[in-house]
């Protein structure tokens, strides 16, 4: 029987949601049905709700919603109302399960799980590791329980889970070891659901087995991360203890010398928490360009006129990504493909081209025409004689969350 799964992905002031109808057969045939997708933004302020039902035009409206539980309540009410017009959902009881994107699963969670009291406690125990994210996930889980009842099965899908097998030599920092023991300070990695989804799609496209999947995945969106995938699982990834480490992102610096924290704090009269916030919210593309975190706007600017800082922001972004490809090639002893995903990776031929420029030495030859025409769709963008291929594969974290939800509830293993 098809299950209507409500997928919730909560940020501090936004709540993204999708309603996906699926079951084991639909998953097998890649025919899951997306009934609705939407987003509640600026929760607590001038709330904006955006929803798209099936293929219908997007609807945008404003609603007084005070907090995250209020947003969940609104979504459930709206989905089951006549106004939404979703034939499959006539009343709240037609929502059969909820799947939550949970940011931090710590060292505990290596895969998605059905939520019970113990799981919820363990997610709460990870709050120290993700103080900005996990509390919102917990609020959403509790809100669903209150609104749809404790019998409704709920599943947690962790951003960190796919990276769980990364070996010690790649996940430990060269810090005094007791800090790892006492505070669990290590690399966890994030965007795991996205890296996992595109690895699975790569296997389908390239007709490979999991065992035979040796690739580098680049998730380039507002947040950016790279993963080295060997025999189907990550052996390294660029985000660390938090999502701050690694690639240059929209507003995050990625890698910096840790000594700059104290220097900035001293010179600018900031607390270390304020410096951390500066590295997370005022750096990256925004910080270098002084203009915006939006790659599309930066590229448009550069097309219209020369602006040194805009050019530098784009160059530093592409250079860092290329450097990680090189590092992971060395770590893995070579790879069969590089996979681009995320808003920038899926849509920007220019950035993909810049990152792949000069990688011919190890056999990756981009076909400029294929690269240019590949926007937001699954495609190989390298020449047929390329030894190492590059693919564009749009990510779909919500789809994977809905599939894991069904599989966990039915007690099926997770093949993708
Ligand atoms: P999030 O990480 O918030 O989910 P996305 O994956 O949607 O973000 O990626 C957002 C980024 O993708 C923005 O920097 C945006 O400018 C960029 N982007 C989207 N479309 C294009 C495009 N056609 N060209 C360049 N960048 C694009």
Name the pLDDT band for 91 (thresholds 50, 70, 90).
Answer: very high
**Residue written as tokens 């928490």?**
273
Q: Which residues contact 262 (CB under 8 A, 6 or more apart)?
A: 272
At 319 the pLDDT is: 98
Distance 325 CA to ligand 1 centre (A): 20
Over range 56-70, report the average pLDDT.
93
Name the nearest CA neighbour of 341 among 229, 177, 187, 176: 229
Give residue 322's pLDDT: 98
At 49, give phi and psi (nearest 5°).
Answer: -110, 130
The preferred substitution site among 302, 344, 345, 394 for testing ligand 1, maximizing ligand atoms within 8 Å of CB, is 344
Ligand 1 pocket mutation pick from 9, 343, 348 by most atoms within 8 angstroms of CB: 343
How do residues 138-150 score in pLDDT, each as one tens digit?
999 999 999 999 9
pLDDT band at 126 (very low <50, low <70, confident <90, very high): confident
Q: Is 77 in the pocket of ligand 1 (CB under 6 A)?
A: no
**307 alpha carbon to ligand 1 midpoint, in Å?**
21
Ligand 1 near 284 CB (within 6 A): no
pLDDT bin (cut points 50, 70, 90) of residue 133 is: confident
Q: Residue 328 CB: number of other CB atoms within 10 A?
A: 26
Digit-coded pLDDT (tens) for 156-167: 999 999 999 999
The pLDDT tens digits for 369-387 are 999 999 989 999 999 999 9
**Does 239 sit in the ligand 1 pocket, CB within 6 Å?**
no
Any idea which residue has 């999991």 for tokens? 210
Residues 164-184 have a mean pLDDT of 97
**Per-residue pLDDT band at 31 (split at 50, 70, 90):** very high
Q: Backbone phi, then psi, for 371, in 5-degree steps?
A: -60, -45
The residue assigned the tokens 């920092």 is 173
Cα of 166 to ligand 1 centre, how many Å? 28
Q: What percent of the chain has pLDDT over 90?
A: 94
HEC sequence for 142-199: HHHHHHHCCCCCEEEEECCHHHHHCCHHHHCCCCCHHHHHHHCCCCCCCCHHHHHHHH
Closest CA to 236 of 171, 292, 307: 171
Measure Cα distances from 31 to 2, 35, 36, 114, 197 in Å: 11, 12, 15, 23, 15
Q: Specify the DSSP element, H or E, that contains 7.
A: strand 3-10
Stated pTM of the model:
0.96
pLDDT tens digits, one per residue of 319-365: 999 999 999 999 999 999 999 999 999 999 999 999 999 999 999 99
Strand order in the sheet with 113-114: 59-62, 48-53, 33-41, 15-22, 3-10, 97-102, 154-158, 113-114
Helix %, strand %, coil % of the chain (to 5)? 40, 20, 40
Ligand 1 neighbour 376 (Cβ under 6 A): no
What sections of 294-363 are H helices per DSSP? 295-304, 308-332, 342-347, 349-356
- Rounded to whole angstroms, how far apart are CA atoms 254 and 240? 10
Atom of ligand 1 nearest to the CA of 297: 16
Whole-number average pLDDT of the chain:
96
Averaged pLDDT, 5-12: 91
Q: How far are the Cα atoms of 267, 270, 316 from residue 262, in angstroms, in the given order?
A: 8, 9, 24
| pLDDT score for 128 | 83
Centroid of ligand 1 to alpha carbon of 238 (angstroms)? 19
- Active-site hit among 32, 159, 396, 404: 159
Query: Which residue owns the Cα nearest ligand 1 atom 7?
Result: 343
Tally of helices (H runs) and strands (E runs) in the chain = 16, 14
pLDDT band at 414 (very low <50, low <70, confident <90, very high): confident
pLDDT at 12 over 80: no
Exposed / middle / buried, residue 31 (Cβ in 10 Å: 0-12, 13-18, 19+): exposed
Q: Decide: 290 and 309 in contact? Cβ < 8 Å.
A: yes
Catalytic residue flag (residue 294): no
User: Which of the four pLDDT bands, split at 50, 70 and 90, describes residue 127?
Assistant: confident
Residue whose entry in the numeric block shows the structure tokens 């951003």 = 159
Q: Could you tell which of 195, 219, 221 is best to mutate to test the pocket of ligand 1, judged by most ligand atoms within 8 Å of the CB? A: 221
* Ligand 1 within 6 A of CB of 38: no
């Amino acid at each position: 029987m098809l299950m209507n799964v409500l997928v919730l992905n909560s940020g501090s002031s936004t709540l993204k949601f999708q309603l996906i109808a699926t079951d084991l057969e639909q998953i097998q045939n890649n025919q899951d049905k997306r009934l609705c997708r939407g987003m509640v933004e600026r929760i607590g302020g001038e709330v904006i709700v955006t929803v798209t039902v099936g293929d219908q035009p997007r609807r945008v409206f404003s609603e007084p919603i005070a907090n995250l539980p209020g947003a969940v309540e609104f979504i459930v009410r709206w989905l089951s109302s006549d106004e939404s017009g979703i034939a499959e959902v006539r009343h709240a009881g037609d929502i059969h399960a909820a799947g939550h994107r949970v940011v931090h699963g710590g060292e505990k969670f290596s895969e998605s799980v059905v939520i019970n009291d113990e799981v919820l406690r363990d997610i709460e125990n990870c709050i120290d590791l993700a103080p900005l994210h996990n509390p919102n996930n917990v609020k959403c889980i509790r809100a669903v329980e209150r609104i749809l009842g404790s019998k409704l099965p709920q599943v947690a899908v962790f951003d960190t889970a796919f990276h769980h097998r990364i070996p010690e030599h790649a996940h430990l920092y060269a810090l005094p070891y007791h800090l790892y023991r006492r505070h669990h300070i290590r690399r966890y990695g994030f965007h795991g659901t996205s890296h996992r989804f595109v690895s699975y799609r790569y296997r389908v496209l390239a007709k490979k087995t999991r065992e035979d999947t040796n690739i580098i995945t680049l998730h380039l969106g507002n947040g950016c991360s790279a993963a080295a995938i060997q025999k189907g699982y990550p052996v390294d990834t660029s985000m660390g203890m938090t999502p701050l480490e690694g690639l240059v992102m929209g507003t995050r610096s990625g890698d910096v010398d840790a000594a700059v924290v104290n220097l900035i704090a001293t010179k600018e009269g900031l607390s270390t928490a304020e410096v951390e916030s500066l590295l997370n919210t005022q750096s990256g593309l925004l910080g270098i360009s002084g203009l915006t975190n939006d790659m599309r706007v930066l590229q448009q600017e550069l097309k219209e006129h020369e602006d040194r800082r805009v050019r530098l922001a784009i160059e530093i972004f592409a250079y860092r990504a290329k450097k990680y490809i090189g590092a992971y090639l060395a770590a893995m002893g070579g790879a069969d493909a590089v996979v681009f995903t995320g808003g920038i990776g899926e849509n920007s031929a220019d950035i993909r081209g810049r990152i792949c420029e000069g990688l011919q030495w190890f056999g990756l030859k981009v076909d400029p025409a294929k690269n240019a025409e590949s926007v937001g769709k699954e495609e190989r963008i390298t020449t047929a004689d390329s030894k190492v291929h590059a693919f564009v594969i749009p990510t779909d974290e919500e789809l994977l969350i809905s599939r894991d939800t069904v599989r966990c509830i039915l007690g099926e293993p997770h093949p993708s």
